[in-house]
Structure 1
């Protein structure tokens, strides 16, 4: 009886659902990877080796994942009636850039598994193009969410101004409250994603040697964005 209570507990059910998905396992491995990078400033060698192993497993889990983002880009492009045109096009190109990043990363995986040999192309140019594609995707995400914040703020201001100008019916006021709550939530979500993409862009710029951050800082940034990703996936299991 006690065993059944534990097994069928809602939290345990959500936890099973979270780890049952490849995305959930990949996010946990990402957290562990950046935790190892952070700890490497103290521990050195052993944590560096663990970091590489976690990275390799993540790349395996993401095999063929570019197809997901190509499909998502196609869906966003086909939905011509939805939302702001700037947001839509940024979203399309963001997903295409991320699909390219994941596709190039499959070549990095094959190199790490020694399926293909390490040359100047596979060992230097492909990793560089991989990070540049990721950075482009993040930059487009920042632009997209910046625009979303602008649209949401304008909508919030319009609702607040309408409130000041007229009393209206109670039913209208209730509807206004619901709309205001929805738009405020959308603004928060866009701000959160903008900060998330901005933090990840620091990691990529460091990979490309545009910045000179040590492992402690990149580890902390990676831990933060990994937790944000896990939080989103955890909410999706509700």
Structure 2
């Protein structure tokens, strides 16, 4: 029995899960995945008229959303730092501008989202009208950040695709230029990795954009679809963090 227990408790997957959950991002993506599954499942139960069961999942969704806002209280400053660093980093002007705009938008989103949390936990109560305005501003900044991220990702993807084609079709260096060939392969590997990361973020953005867009009345997605989109984007981001924490590519 002790041997069986040790095999379970000390299993590599358990250890990897603990490392993943030990990071703030890992916990956030786990909570987010459950939150959006609860959002979908609440809609599903309500569509079947199961109001009591739906109420439990709706409460779980609400509490997880509140908990995630608490985890993100320090994030606005991180985005300001990222915007400042982007302004000094070399690169195409279009990518720099959209990166700075995205980071500033996320700063605005998370700052107003923190005020939503303050009201939700009743640390300071805003009027219903003021809280609604704050929520709308948060969603506007969120949507703006996502759209700028999509524009940035699209521009970057095009540039990286051109660079990849140029290197692949460039003249081979020959046996005497081994060091140059190695440098070429390293550059190609770096470009492919950056391209994959960009496409990965684009997929997440294209799924997430519908959440604030619907909250603002720009689109009319139902709660079930939004729950599925949020769940998928959470799992994609969570997988990336899992690979990062556990040293996998």
- The separation in 2 between residues aligned to 1:90 and 1:126, in whole angstroms, is 24
- Among 153, 165, 182, the residue aligned to 1:145: 153
- Among 89, 94, 102, the residue aligned to 1:94: 102
Distance 1:6 1:78, change over 3 A: farther
> What SS class does the counterpart of residue 60 from structure 2 fall into?
helix
- How far did 1:212 drift? 0.9
Q: Tell me whether 1:168 sits opposite 2:178 in the alignment.
A: no
Q: Deviations over 1:101-146 (max 9, x none)?
A: 1110111001111222242543211000000000111111111111
Q: TM-score if structure 2 supplies the norm length?
A: 0.85
Asked if structure 1 preserves the Cα contact closer than 8 Å seen for 2:102 and 2:148, the reply is: yes
- The separation in 1 between residues aligned to 2:35 and 2:165, in whole angstroms, is 43
- The separation in 1 between residues aligned to 2:138 and 2:150, in whole angstroms, is 19
Q: Tell me whether 1:119 sits opposite 2:127 in the alignment.
A: yes
- The separation in 2 between residues aligned to 1:156 and 1:21, in whole angstroms, is 34
- Among 56, 66, 88, the residue aligned to 1:56: 66
Asked if structure 1 preserves the Cα contact closer than 8 Å seen for 2:44 and 2:224, the reply is: no
Distance 1:78 1:10, change over 3 A: farther
> What SS class does the counterpart of residue 169 from structure 2 fall into?
helix
Q: Deviations over 1:39-86 (max 9, x none)?
A: 11232222111110111111111122211111222222233xx22222
